[in-house]
Every structure is written in structure tokens, then in C-alpha cells.
Structure 1
Amino acid sequence: MAAKSATRNLTARIARRPFHRLIGYANCWEDPTVLQRALQVGPGDVCLSITSGGCNTLSLLLHDPARVVALDFNPNQNHLLRLKMAALGQLDHGQKLELLGVRQTAPGKRIELYTRVRNALTPDARMFWDDHLGMLEHGVLYEGRLERYLKVFGKLIGGMLGPRRVEAIFDIPSLEAQRAYYFKHIDGLRWRSLFDVFFSRTVITRAKDKHHFKYVDFDGFGRRFRARAQHIFADLSLPANYFMALILLGRFHSERALPPYLLEENHDLLRGRLERLELVTGDLEGYLGRVPDDTFTRFNLSNLFDWFAQPALVKAHREIVRVARIGARLCWWNTLAVRHLPGEVGEIVPENDLARDLLAQDRFIYAQLQIGQIKK
């Protein structure tokens, strides 16, 4: 009981922090390709997905699950997901890209498009967006707290190295040429120094939240992020990496390099499956406590456990086992904290080799990926 109370009190405190007062994440920063290979979602699956920016929850629908429950303790993240659902359901592909901010539009056009989808929102979501029309006008995909923080980093890099030099790396078709360009034109003292300062514990905890890194017992954040970034720039193709484009350019580089839910070929399919989504506002432990045994087959848990102390992490995984069906799969990421699937919960079998291989292909700078299968 004490562990449950402590977790809920922490959730309540986190929810009041500036990072979560509006939109913390306008996009999901977990790679959807990695997510699908980890979870292997297919026809008939019942998924629990942390909402965050809503992108990956929508992308799960592409794999024909029977049902997806989107859960977030921040109601505004669910309001954002409802806006994205309304754009898919009420607009054509081009209008969807205009409303959300992928395409440039004439002044006032995004508000005009919002009025066309407004009645498809729930009353709470409608009230939220009516009160934050400025976010819509600016392009909501760039208006999350994290996106605005990372955009500052991109502007600083552009100012130091020159915007054309930075953008050019996204147009190099050969990985070998991309790697050579990175080490010649990007990597250097200014690049390394900016990582060390901008992603230091002091700066990043002010931009995000001090609780997010409470369980990280080391410093040198910038050096660790820079090592992951170097792997991405030197070893993974960048033209399709919309994560790095959002950080360094402050926008999507191409309409062919977008999250799956925004791609034109997926528009009609997703529109036909939106009714399979259920949105829930609440914390993980409180929600799971209301769920019957043997309900879910897949769990997308984002980077949720960055915020959890080890006893709360163990308790949450015991509840996950209870509500999971035999053979269910789960995955989650760590930003920096060294965390593993809890050995105390023996019904979860880690898939460490797969997690290591997929992390090496991940297009964002997460430090760890955990994948497990439930056998009970």
C-alpha cells in the first residue's frame, strides 16, 4: 500500500510540473520501426500504449490489432491524440499535414482547418484547443515542451556550423559519404562542446523535469547523448530520420520522411480503424488495478520507467503480468537511467539479444531498450 501511495503521489507531483502543464511531447520519440519489431503486433492483438505524442499509438493500428488503449496521466497528451485522430478522420491527407504543421500554410489556414475538425473532438479536448489556438497556428507538432527545447539546440548548431551545412547531411544518399561528411563538417569542438553544455544535468533538468533524471546516478549526460548521436550520424542513414531532422532543422525534412501515421499511403487505412482506439487519462498503476486478468497482448510503455523507483517498477511489472495474456510482449526505453526488466518478476522473459540489435538501429538517442515476453 505504501508503494502504491508513493507512486501516485509522485505522479500527482509530476503532473503539476511545468513540463506537463500543456503538451510535454508533441511527437513520440520512440522509433516506430523498432517498436513494431519489438512487439510484433498483428491481427487480434489488444494493446496498451502510453499516449505521449500519440504517433506510435496511431501507428499500432496499421498492424490490425483488435483494440488499442492509449493511456497518459497528462490529459493534454490525450487531447493532442484526439486532434490527430480528428485530422485523420475529417480531413484529406494534405489538409492533415497543413493542420498539424508539416506543410506551410497561409496565415489563418490552420485555424480554418481546426474549425472543420473541432466538432469531432470531445468537449474537454475542444475546450483545450479553443484555449490554445496559438499552438495550432504555429504548427502543433513543434509546440511540445521537448520539441521547443530541442529546437533551441538545432538553432544553436545551425548558427555555429551554418544552416546549409547542417541540412546538407539529410540529402546524402550514400551511408559512406554521409559518414565522411559528418566527421568532416559536423563533428568538431563546437559540436562536442554544445552537447556537453546543452545536455548537461543542470540544463536538461530545467528544460524537462528534475524527477525525470532522479534515478540517474552519474553525470556526463552530454557525452553519452553525443555518443549515441555519433552512432546515428555515422552508422544509420539520415534521409529518412525525421527525429534528427526535427532536432537539427526544427521541422520535417521531407514528406516521405514522416511518422507512419502521417504518410499518405496510410491515411485511409488509419481513418477506417480509429474506432478501435480507447483513450484513458490516468497513471499506469491506477489503470492496471481496474483491468481484469488476461486482457492485453502487447504493451508499448514508452520511456515511462525513467520516472519510477525500483520498487515501483517491480510492482508495475507484476501488475502487467496479471493483466497480460500468455505470450504477451512488452517493450520500453530508457533515456539515461540504467534499468532492466525486473528479475523478481520471473514470468517476464527478457529478449536481450533482440533489444540490443534493435537499439543499434534506433533513430533516436535513447540509451537502453527493454523487450520481454510473458510466460505464465
Structure 2
Amino acid sequence: MVMKSARQAQGSNTSDNAGKPPITHAVVRKGAGVAGKVLDHAFALAFRGLVYAQIWEDPEIDMEALAIRPDSRVVAIASGGCNVLSYLVADPAAITAVDLNTAHIALNKLKLASAQHLPDYKHFRRFFAEADRPSNIAAYHAYVAPFLDEPTRSYWEGRDLTLRRRIGGFRKGIYKRGLLGGFIGMAHLLARLYRVDLHAILDAPTREAQRTIFEAQMAPVFDRKFVRWLTEQPAALFGLGIPPAQFDALAGDQPMAQVLRRRLEKLACDFAVEDNYFAWQAFSRGYSRDADAPLPPYLQEANWDKVRARADRVTVRHANLTEHLAAQPDASLDRYVLLDAQDWMSDAQLNALWREITRTARPGARVLFRTAAEPSLLPGRVADDLLARWTYHGEASADYTRRDRSSIYGGVHLYELGA
């Protein structure tokens, strides 16, 4: 399972963090004990490379909740770029994608350049939906590389810690790489050790058959003593994108194995697999190859012309979200996508962020975010005078949570600014 998209806590920087890598000062908790800080530093180190080749928030739910209009100016945490490119289908005026992870900045820029410069949809689909063809490397050099800025090109043509060229991931399966790809691979290995074929659920003809397979094969694994022990170790879940600060919020007063079981049950059983590309990523480590395979909106053939024509509306920034907003004019933005970054934040960071959101928001602006636990984390933490300016759409948020096909978050939350 995957618990986060590629993002870092986007809290305000301070002089205490001078000289530290951005991810480190975003993650390491000042009030944590020695053991907690060691875990925080380990998590920050793990998150300096590629984490997510695919974002794990449902872009169709995002676009429904955001109600993007032709005059909407959107700011979003970039992550793997799937949702940022998918928002182009809704025809916004502009999107700014920000992230602290340089690998995700490079991935977003690669996707945008590919949408603009690959010859046709067939090349684009092969590059990102199949992502394991030798011809992708030739297409990269012929059509995409000449249009990348130097840092992005250096990243993809450089080597990772295993000395593999990073662009080679599109020849051998990019969705098997990165921290998340490695975690899913380990989950598949663990499943095989318990004689569970995770791919089997993708062949189920009905949702009833999906549930039968889940109950018979997958659910019992979470009762195994080793699995119960393993899931209680915060470091074991780094690959899900769960920082130590978020671990307790996710588990609450329940064993983590049971929390993860319920999230996996929703992914495996609540949506037909032929309509849910998140299930394909979890259970096959890639997208289906069928002509009518479920794909993110930006990879669907029906949306190709829109994505290609509007890709130049996206600006990608290597930046802290709060600091980026601080540089924007008053009342200049309409839609904010925070992913689950707030789960990482202290109260001071939350208030700094929401002060900048409120200052830069135009009337009717919308903010969408996700949380590991079910409730919104803002009440009681963000100043009352700030939060009073925003309307929380509780009933709609509960409905978005229920219908989010990624199935991995406790809550999807929508706030709207009053006049």
C-alpha cells in the first residue's frame, strides 16, 4: 500500500534550519526526543531521491471538489505530477506546482516536456503508461531531452545510488523504482512468502469475486505475527510515505496492521478493478496494457490534445509552499492542493501556511487536502480568526473520502473561502 504522494512538509523555514537540506528541516521535529529525531532524520534521508513515480490521490475526485474554472489559478504540491497534468483537462488559467524534492521536480518537468514534444499520443502512452520499452529511451533523446533545462536533463541522464542511469527506468519499469516502487516490490515478495498472488485480484470478473479473493488470501496475512510486528515499526512504513510524525495519527488507538488491512480492503473491494488504476499499481506494479485500461486523466487518449495544448500553463518550482505563497500578491489565487503535507506540520507551520493561503486567496477560493486520520486536523490548531473565514464542506468531504479510488487516506477535506 501507498500512504502518500511525493511531497514534503511545506512549513515555514527558520534560521534554526540554516544549512540543512530542505527536506530535513521540513521533517525533523524540534520537540521530539533523541529516538524520534533519529527516525525523522532517517526518513528525511530516504526522501531525498525519487519517491513516487505516480501520485496516490484520485485526480477525478480532486477536479470535482476543486470545481476548476477557466479563470482559476491553481497552486499544488507537485508530487509525481499525475494530478497536476490531469488538472489541465479542467482548463485552468495557470497551475504552479511546487515541491521540495528535486527528483519530483525533474519528473514533473519530464512529463510536461514529453506532453509538448513527443510526436503523438502513442509515444506518450508508451513512455508513461507502459514505461518499460527500450524505444522510450530513443524517444527521450530524439524528442524530449533537447527541451529540458540543464538540471532536469542532468538528473535523468545521471546515475542513482545503484549506478543505473535514471532515464533507464523508462526502459525497465519506472513504477518499480523509487522508494514507493521498492516498498510495493517488498510487499509482493512478502505476499509470495505467504503464498498469496496479489495479481489474482486483477482477474476477478466482479466486485464480489474481488472481495472473495481478498478475504481468502490477503486479509489473513495481517494476522500473521511477523506482519503485526513489522507494521508497528515506523521505519518499515517509510516507503508508504508515512513520516514518524504521521505514524501515530494514522494508527490512533488501533494496531497498525488492522488500519492497513482496512485501507487495502477498500482498494481491493470497493471499486471495480477495470476502473481503478490505483489497484493495478498496487497489485501489478504498473498499469494494465489493455487498450481500455484505466489510466490517470492525463494519460487517457481522449484528453491527449487538451494536455498537450495546455502544458505550457504549468510552472514547476523547487520551493517551500508557504514561502512561495508569501511571495504572491494578495487575492491572486483560486485553488490550493495540499495533498497530505499538513499531517507533517507543527501548529506554527499550519498557521503560517493558512495565513498565506487566506491572504492570497480570492473570494470563493477552494483548498483541498488529505489526512491519514479521518477528521480534518485544522480545528483547534489553526487560529479561530483564520479558520472562521473558511467554510468546511463536511458532507461533501465525507463523500469524496468514500469515493477516492486510491483508498489510502482517512479523510479528503474541502474548505471554501467566503466573500
TM norm structure 2: 0.80
Give 3-state SS (helix, strand or coil) of 2:275's partner.
coil
> Retained in 1: the 8 A contact 2:175–2:285?
no
Shift of 1:157: 1.9
**60-69 or 136-145, which deviates more:** 136-145
Aligned-pair CA distance for 1:257:
1.3
Pairwise mapping of residues 200-279 of structure 1 onto structure 2 (< 5 A)? Answer: 200-207=232-239, 208=241, 210-213=243-246, 216=249, 218=252, 220-255=255-290, 256-279=293-316
SS of equivalent residue, structure 1 residue 340: coil
- Return the offset for 1:233: 2.5
Separation in 2 of the partners of 1:361 and 1:93?
29
Q: Distance in 1 between matches of 2:189 and 2:114?
A: 29
SS at match of 1:157: helix
The structure-2 alpha-carbon separation of the partners of 1:35 and 1:78, relative to structure 1 and needing over 3 Å to count, comes to same
Of 330, 343, 353 in structure 2, the residue corresponding to residue 293 of structure 1 is 330
1:1-376 equivalences under 5 Å are 5=14, 11-13=22-24, 17-91=44-118, 92-100=120-128, 102=130, 104-105=132-133, 108-116=134-142, 117-131=144-158, 132-163=166-197, 166-188=198-220, 190-193=221-224, 196-207=228-239, 208=241, 210-213=243-246, 216=249, 218=252, 220-255=255-290, 256-336=293-373, 339-342=376-379, 344=384, 345-364=387-406, 365-376=408-419
- Distance change (3 Å), C-alpha of 1:225 and 1:274: same
The share of aligned pairs that are identical, in percent, is: 25
Preserved contact between residue 96 and residue 314 of structure 2 (Cα < 8 Å) = yes
Deviation track 1:48-78 (CA, whole Å, cap 9, x = no partner) reads 1110000000000000101011111122211
- Tell me how large the CA RMSD over aligned residues is: 2.7
Q: CA deviation at 1:328?
A: 0.6
In the aligned structure 1, how far is the partner of 2:349 from the partner of 2:13?
A: 7
| Structure 2: segments with no counterpart, 5+ residues | 1-10, 27-40, 159-165
Structure 2 CA distance for partners of 1:6 and 1:21, relative to 1, 3 Å: same
Report the residue type matching 1:41 in the other structure: I
Q: Deviations over 1:320-356 (max 9, x none)?
A: 0111110011111123486423462211111111111
Comparing 196-205 and 43-52, the one that deviates more: 196-205
The 1:199–1:33 alpha-carbon spacing in structure 2 relative to 1, beyond 3 Å, is farther
What is the CA deviation profile of residues 121-168 of structure 1, one whole-angstrom value per residue up to 9, with x for unaligned ones? 1111011111033434333333221222122112322443443xx323
CA contact (8 A) 1:294 1:322 kept: yes
Q: Deviations over 1:182-221 (max 9, x none)?
A: 3234332x24437635543334355456445266384622
Gaps of 5+ in 1: none
- Normalising by the residue count of structure 1, what TM-score does the alignment of the two structures yield? 0.89
> In structure 2, do the counterparts of structure 1 residues 313 and 65 end up closer, same or farther at CA, with 3 Å as the change threshold?
same
2:330 is paired with a residue whose SS is: coil
Q: Distance in 2 between matches of 1:59 and 1:235?
A: 23
CA–CA distance in 2 between the matches of 1:296 and 1:322? Answer: 9
- The offset of 1:97, in angstroms, is 3.1
Query: What secondary structure sits across from 1:168 in the alignment?
Result: helix
CA distance in 2, matches of 1:215, 1:14: 20
Using the alignment, how far apart are the partners of 2:17 and 2:317 within structure 1? Answer: 16
* 3-state secondary structure, aligned to 1:70: strand
Q: How far 1:99 moved relative to its partner?
A: 2.7
**Equivalents in 1 of 2:17, 2:173: separation in Å?**
33
Q: Matched residues in 1 for 2:329 and 2:25: separation?
A: 27
Q: Matches of 1:305 and 1:275 in 2, distance apart? A: 29
- Matched letter for residue 359 of structure 1: T
Partner AA of 1:238 in structure 2: V
Report deviation, 1:319.
1.2
